[in-house]
Chains A and B, each alone.
Chain A
């Protein structure tokens, strides 16, 4: 069964900290893995997409890594800001293009 798990479920940090969000998946035969953020009452904003052949992707203060053999991905956020407060979701795509979502990490960055 294809399952995606994220830990921690919630995280509260002071502004300026570097932090790591974790995502694990049971089926390593992924096509790609995508990280999203979701603000309360809003839709999902795509942050990074890592193809199965890639090891990492970077965008600004965000860096996502992928280790297929261990079934893990991490999202690294450098120098966190209050505006980073949101729920972060990872999602795996397999051979039918549908996304299997993780349970999310609710992040709060306080000033």
Chain B
């Protein structure tokens, strides 16, 4: 019973390039959350998705960032025209449809911008 799978584990991009981060939720989980952990800071919520729907994107920067969770395949967090300040660890979590269940986290993608 695999946990939340994120890939890649490490991603290096140059300023101006695009970064795509992938997340496969645990089997049976239909809710996906993305969080960002900046160096020496706590985790901050970015976006909450269910299959084919964005439920809450209040933590997403207004520009350059987008997220999707298609009917088939993993959830994708996309960052366009990356800047140095995007360097962080990006974590994905998933939970089942039943309310009030714990969120299970992946090992994260560490994004470095050169």
CA distance A102 to B43 in the complex (A): 8
Known: A34-B102, A43-B91, A43-B105. A99 touches B45 (CB 8 A): yes
Closest to B41 in A: A103
User: Which chain B residues lie closer than 8 Å to A99 at the CB level?
Assistant: 33, 35, 43, 45, 93, 103
Determine the chain A residues whose CB is within 8 A of the CB of B107 once the complex forms: 42-43
The reply to whether the CB of B54 lies closer than 8 angstroms to some CB of chain A is no
**What string of 1s and 0s marks CB contacts (under 8 Å) between A88-111 and chain B?**
010101001111111110000000
List B contacts of A93 (CB < 8 A): 100
In the assembled complex, A21 has its CB within 8 A of some CB on chain B? no
A98 to B31, CA, bound (A): 11
Chain B residues with CB under 8 Å of A42's CB are 107-108
User: B110 — which chain A residues lie within 8 A by C-beta?
Assistant: 41
If A32-B100, A89-B42 touch, whether A97 touches B108 (CB-CB below 8 Å) is: no
* Bound Cα distance from A31 to B91, whole angstroms: 22
CA–CA, A98 to B54, complex, Å?
13
Contacting pair B43 A43 (CB below 8 A): no
In the bound complex, do residue B44 and residue A101 qualify as a contact, i.e. CB atoms below 8 Å apart? Answer: yes
B52 within 8 A of A: no
| B99 / chain A contacts, CB cutoff of 8 Å | 31, 97
**A79 CB-CB contact with B under 8 Å:** no
Q: Taking the complex as formed, is A44 at the interface, i.e. its CB lies under 8 A from any CB of chain B?
A: yes
What are 17 sample pairs from A and B whose C-beta atoms fall under 8 A apart? A32-B100, A43-B108, A44-B93, A46-B103, A91-B43, A93-B100, A97-B48, A97-B95, A98-B33, A98-B59, A99-B33, A99-B43, A99-B103, A100-B45, A101-B35, A102-B42, A103-B42
